Amino acid sequence: MTTWLGLTGGTAVGKSTIANFFADQSVPVVDADQVARQLVTPGTPGLTALISEFGPEIVAENGTLDRKMLGQLVFHQPAELTRLNRVMAPLLLPEILRRMKRERNSELVVLDAPTLFEAGYVPLMDLTMVVVLSPAKQLERLMARDGLDQQAAAERIASQWSPSFKASQADVVIDSSGTIAKTRKKVLKWLDDTDFSG
Ligand SMILES: CC(C)(COP(=O)(O)OP(=O)(O)OC[C@H]1O[C@@H](n2cnc3c(N)ncnc32)[C@H](O)[C@@H]1O)[C@@H](O)C(=O)NCCC(=O)NCCS
Ligand SMILES: Nc1ncnc2c1ncn2[C@@H]1O[C@H](COP(=O)(O)OP(=O)(O)OP(=O)(O)O)[C@@H](O)[C@H]1O
């Protein structure tokens, strides 16, 4: 039996960094952000559905989705994020499940999904790992990584469910406030100490 591990936590807390630690140990990882990106490339039903919902102005001159513009809209206005989720949710779930099931020969498969809780994927997982970080450090990392100003970064953080709620529901909580090397050590120790064979 394959164990499905849902890896989640707020934006910029270090999920993808941790997902790479798993990948380095040959654990297959499905990256929900990447799936979402592939579903809306030019010519896809996903992009067509987004254009029907938000209008042609969400397409950049080169024909790709103007992610920056759509991001500014949906993270600034919760009602717009609800509209986006309504379009994306029915496309995302089957594709995520298809990719997870493809790894049936592995003992462990990781789903890296920022909205694991919000999208209702938790019941599909065998285990959940929630990455936590202090709000001040999260804001700092998000602003540094994405070049966002403080208000835009705070809005993006506020569009997600509370980290303390997610942590309270988790099977494993990983604090990523230390160095990347320290976080790596914690994750590898958990991987080493856990028996996935049953
Ligand atoms: C709004 C979009 C176009 C912005 O694109 P952009 O390239 O700027 O950001 P990117 O996709 O890399 O996401 C960055 C981070 O934003 C957060 N985020 C993305 N989508 C959502 C969402 N629906 N709800 C809450 N937070 C989200 C996540 O923490 C994510 O890691 C894009 O995030 C999107 O299409 N989101 C909807 C798809 C989705 O739900 N993705 C999450 C998969 S579970
Ligand atoms: N101890 C640490 N553990 C993980 N990441 C760290 C750590 N210290 C600094 N970082 C940095 O924090 C930033 C955010 O990490 P990452 O991109 O992995 O977050 P994420 O949770 O996947 O974000 P998102 O949900 O927005 O995609 C990166 O620039 C990463 O290098």
Kindly list the averaged pLDDT for each block of 10 residues, start to end, along the chain of length 198. 97 97 98 98 98 98 97 96 98 98 97 98 98 97 96 96 97 97 98 91
Q: Is residue 198 part of a domain?
A: no
Residue 173: strand pairing partners: 130
Phi and psi (nearest 5°) for 121? Answer: -85, -15
Residue 134 within any structural domain of the chain: yes
Q: What's the pLDDT score for residue 53?
A: 98
Task: Output the pLDDT for position 77.
Answer: 96
Residue 21: φ, ψ to 5°: -65, -40
Q: Is residue 12 part of a domain?
A: yes
Q: Is residue 131 part of a domain?
A: yes
Residue 176 belongs to what domain range? 3-193
* 52 is a domain residue: yes
Which residue in this structure is represented by tokens 């938790």? 122
Cβ proximity of 29 and 136 under 8 Å: no
Q: Which of 141, 146, 182 has most ligand 2 atoms within 8 Å of its beta carbon, as the pocket-test mutant?
A: 141
Atom number of ligand 1 nearest to Cα 11:
29
Phi, psi of 162, rounded to the nearest 5 degrees = -65, 130
Instruction: Enter the ipTM.
Output: 0.96
Tell me, yes or no, whether 178 lies in a domain. yes
Number of structural domains (the chain) is 1
Task: Residue 43: give its domain's CATH number.
Answer: 3.40.50.300
pLDDT at 170: 98
| Residue 107 within a domain | yes
- Protein residue whose Cα sits closest to atom 25 of ligand 1: 160
Ligand 2 neighbour 179 (Cβ under 6 A): yes
* 25, part of any domain: yes
Q: Supply the pLDDT for residue 197.
A: 82
Query: What is d(CA 58, CA 47) in angstroms, rounded to the nearest whole number?
Result: 10
